Amino acid sequence: MVEYSDEEQLSALLKAVCDSTRRSLLTLLCQQGPTRVTDLANCFDMSLNAISKHIKVLEKSGLIIRKTMGRTHWIEADLNQTVAMESWLSELKSIWSLRLDKLEQLLENGDKQ
């Protein structure tokens, strides 16, 4: 089994993006740039408290950054943390490519016999 030095980070990222509301929030932040929490909440049919909980999960994973100016909280996407997820997915893709190449070889050898 492959071990990751950043296993906890990978788990936090996957947990953060497993929810459609959080993916929508992240997409919105990437499209609009830094946005106030209240403006984000207005884009969804849920309470400010519910949106705040989703924001905290994204914040904990490192996918967003919160900046406070006075009483206003600005949320900004930070996709630097996605390296762990990209690396893991790349390894999975590599494993499947090797398996498919081997299957192709087996099928070619079977046709020759």
The answer to whether the CB of 51 falls within 8 A of the CB of 39 is no
CA atoms of 49 and 88, how far apart (whole Å): 33
> For 16-32, what is the HEC assignment?
HHCCHHHHHHHHHHHHH
d(CA 110, CA 113): 5
Summarised one tens digit per residue, pLDDT across range 11-21 is 888 899 999 99
pLDDT at 5 over 50: yes
> Rounded CA gap, 32 and 30, in Å?
6
For the chain, what are the domain ranges? 7-112
Q: Which two tokens stand for residue 37?
A: 């929490």
CATH number for the segment(s) 7-112: 1.10.10.10
Q: Give the pLDDT of residue 79.
A: 86
pLDDT tens readout for residues 39-89: 999 999 999 999 999 999 999 999 999 999 999 999 999 988 877 777 777
- What does the buried/exposed string (b/e) look like for 62-92 if buried means 16 or more CB atoms within 10 Å of the residue's CB? bbbeeeeeeeebebebeeebbebbeebeeee
Please report where in the chains the tokens 């900046």 appear, as a residue: 67
